[in-house]
Amino acid sequence: MTRLILWRHGNTDWNAGDRVQGQTDVPLNDLGQEQARAAAPLLAALRPDAIVASDLRRARDTADALAALTGLAVRPDPRLRERYFGRWQGLTIPEVAERHPAEYRAWRAGAQDPGCEIEPLDDLGKRVGAALQDAVDRMPGATVVFATHGGAARQGCGHILGWGPEVLHSVGALQNCHWTELRHDPARGWQLRAHNVGPLDQRPVPPAI
């Protein structure tokens, strides 16, 4: 059985401030480090065979908490980075809504390519999906944990599952340090087995990008 765990990174100051991160390299804050340490034993109990992480610090540092428990090396893969948010990166969501109202409305409605140099969702899904597939090809039958980002995880899962944009738009955002689990059944193919799983004492934070 092949099992993929897509794990969103811990909290950052930009998450807490409702600021668009995208591919800006923002580190975990104290809460994010605490979240990673709380989630790591739960993921270690799944007996992962490999850990792959986005090369952005917030994902790599999250992965390191699991590596410390399992002894596994973390393999970086830049294809697991968050969606590139173009001219929005560094702005707060209220600033985005004020400065780019038409593009903001399109993004909220689930537009694939809302403008402002934002990476199209189809491109995001294909690059993250390629990273997931490469890991499957490298280690068939393994359990692989991917430390990545909320939007990247959703689109990567959609690519693997073959879900269209209408379905993906209805999937709730991952909380910090929560994960989605996919399994491959030889008869039925890829299946979503769990979504938004994480520590029971997780403090809720607003979804961020």
Q: What is the pLDDT of residue 195?
A: 97
CA distances to 12, 35, 170, 208 from 203, in Å: 13, 9, 23, 15
Q: How far apart are CA 146 and CA 7, in angstroms?
A: 6
In the chain, where the domains are located: 7-38+49-197
Which is the catalytic residue, given 82, 103, 119, 181?
Answer: 82
Query: What are the two backbone dihedrals, phi and then psi, of residue 34, each rounded to the nearest 5 degrees?
Result: -65, -40
Dihedral over alpha carbons 130, 134, 140, 143 (to 10 degrees): -70
Spot the catalytic one: 9, 149, 159, 178.
9
* pTM exceeding 0.75: yes
| Encoded tokens for 160 | 């693997």
**CATH topology assigned to domain 7-38+49-197:** Rossmann fold (3.40.50)
Counting beta carbons within 10 angstroms of the beta carbon of residue 177, is it exposed (0 to 12), middle (13 to 18) or buried (19 or more)? buried
pLDDT tens by residue, the chain, 209 residues:
899 999 999 999 999 999 999 999 999 999 999 999 999 999 999 999 999 999 999 999 999 999 999 999 999 999 999 999 999 999 999 999 999 999 999 999 999 999 999 999 999 999 999 999 999 999 999 999 999 999 999 999 999 999 999 899 899 999 999 999 999 988 899 999 999 999 975 544 555 56
Is 9 marked active-site? Answer: yes
Is-catalytic flag, 166?
no
